[in-house]
C-alpha cells in the first residue's frame, strides 16, 4: 500500500506552559503570551504544509477550575491571539475560524472576539477550530440532538471531522478529553520539547514522520 500525503486535519494540544514559566522564572502571563505567538507559528507552518484544518485545544471545561490568576493569563493571551495575531497573519478571504465549547462559561470579551473572526473570516482554504470550555460529553449530546433532528447517523452530525495527527507539547501520553471520537485513528505525538521552545523545524519533522507511515485507519 502506498504512503499517503497529508495530514488533512491536525489537533494541537498546547501544554506545559506553567512548567515553562517556572523553569524560566517568568510570569504566567508572559509564558502564555509567548505560547500564543508559538501557536501562530505552528498554524502557519501547518498551513504551508497543505494542512486544511487545525483544531487547537485552548481550554477544557475542567480547566475552568484553575486559579483566577492562571485563567486571566490564558484569557489575556487568547484575546491577543484572537484580536491581533490571527487577523495580522491569516487572510480572511482564504481562512476561517470557529469557536467550539460552552460560550456561556467564557468571558464576554473572549466570545465577542471569536465571534468577530467567525463573521470576518470567510475562506475555506484553511480552517482553525478553537476548543474553549470544551467537553466531549457536551459535543456528543449536541451531535445526538442534531442527528435526531436531521434524521442522520450521529457520526455525520459532528461539526468537527476526523483528526489525522494530534500533537501535544508535553511528554505525558494523555489526550485530556481532546476530540476522543474524531481522534480514534489519529497518530499521536507527545513531545519532550515545550510549546514555547518549538521551532518550525520540529513541525516539519512531525509532518515528514506522518507522511512516512501508511494511514490504515483500522483497515
Query: Which grid cell sits at 129?
Result: 477550530
Per-residue model confidence (pLDDT) at position 213: 83
**Cβ within 8 Å of residue 150, ≥6 positions away:** 157
Phi-psi region of 91 (alpha: psi -120 to 50; beta: other; left: phi over 0): beta
Q: What is the pLDDT of residue 202?
A: 97
Q: Residues 129, 100: contact at Cβ < 8 Å?
A: yes
Task: Scan for cell 514555547, then name that residue.
Answer: 196
Tallying the residues shown for the chain, one arrives at 219
Q: Which of 72, 83, 82 is nearest to 30 (CA)?
A: 72
pLDDT value at position 214? 75
Q: H/E element holding 145?
A: helix 136-150
- Plot region of 57 (φ>0 → left; ψ -120 to 50 → alpha; else → beta): beta
Going residue by residue through the chain, which has 219 residues, state the pLDDT in tens, using 9 for 90 and above.
344 588 999 999 999 999 999 999 999 999 999 999 999 999 999 999 999 999 999 999 999 999 999 999 999 999 999 999 999 999 999 999 999 999 999 999 999 999 999 999 999 999 999 999 999 999 999 999 999 999 999 988 999 999 999 999 999 999 999 999 999 999 999 999 999 999 999 999 999 999 988 766 655
| Rounded-to-integer distance, Cα 176 and Cα 13, Å | 9
| Residue 7, Ramachandran bin (φ over 0: left; ψ between -120 and 50: alpha; else beta) | beta
Residue 95 confidence (pLDDT): 98
Domain range annotation of the chain: 9-211
Pairing of strands 165-168, 9-13: parallel
Residues 129, 98: Cα–Cα separation, whole Å: 5
CATH code, 9-211: 3.40.1180.10
CA max distance for the chain? 55
Give the span between the Cα atoms of 91 and 36, in whole angstroms. Answer: 18
The per-residue DSSP string of 39-99 comes to HHHHHHHHHHTT--EEEEE--BTGGGGS-HHHHHHHHHHHHHIIIIIHHHHS-TTTEEEEE
Amino acid at each position: 500500500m502506498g504512503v499517503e500525503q497529508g495530514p488533512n486535519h491536525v489537533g494541537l494540544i498546547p501544554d506545559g506552559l506553567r512548567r515553562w514559566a517556572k523553569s524560566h522564572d517568568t510570569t504566567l502571563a508572559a509564558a502564555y503570551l509567548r505560547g500564543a505567538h508559538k501557536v501562530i507559528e505552528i498554524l502557519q507552518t501547518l498551513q504551508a504544509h497543505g494542512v486544511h484544518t487545525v483544531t487547537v485545544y485552548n481550554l477544557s471545561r475542567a480547566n475552568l477550575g484553575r486559579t483566577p490568576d492562571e485563567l486571566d493569563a490564558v484569557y489575556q493571551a487568547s484575546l491577543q491571539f484572537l484580536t491581533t495575531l490571527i487577523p495580522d497573519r491569516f487572510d480572511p478571504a482564504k481562512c476561517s475560524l470557529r469557536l467550539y465549547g460552552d460560550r456561556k462559561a467564557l468571558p464576554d470579551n473572549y466570545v465577542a472576539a471569536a465571534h468577530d473572526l467567525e463573521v470576518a473570516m470567510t475562506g475555506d482554504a484553511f480552517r482553525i477550530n478553537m476548543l474553549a470550555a470544551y467537553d466531549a460529553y457536551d459535543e456528543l449530546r449536541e451531535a445526538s440532538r442534531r442527528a435526531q433532528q436531521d434524521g442522520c447517523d450521529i457520526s455525520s452530525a459532528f461539526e468537527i471531522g476526523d483528526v489525522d495527527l494530534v500533537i501535544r507539547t508535553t511528554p505525558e501520553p494523555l489526550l485530556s478529553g481532546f476530540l476522543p471520537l474524531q481522534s480514534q485513528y489519529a497518530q499521536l505525538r507527545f513531545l519532550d520539547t515545550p510549546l514555547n521552545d518549538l521551532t518550525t523545524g520540529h513541525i516539519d519533522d512531525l509532518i515528514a514522520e506522518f507522511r512516512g507511515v501508511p494511514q490504515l485507519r483500522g483497515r
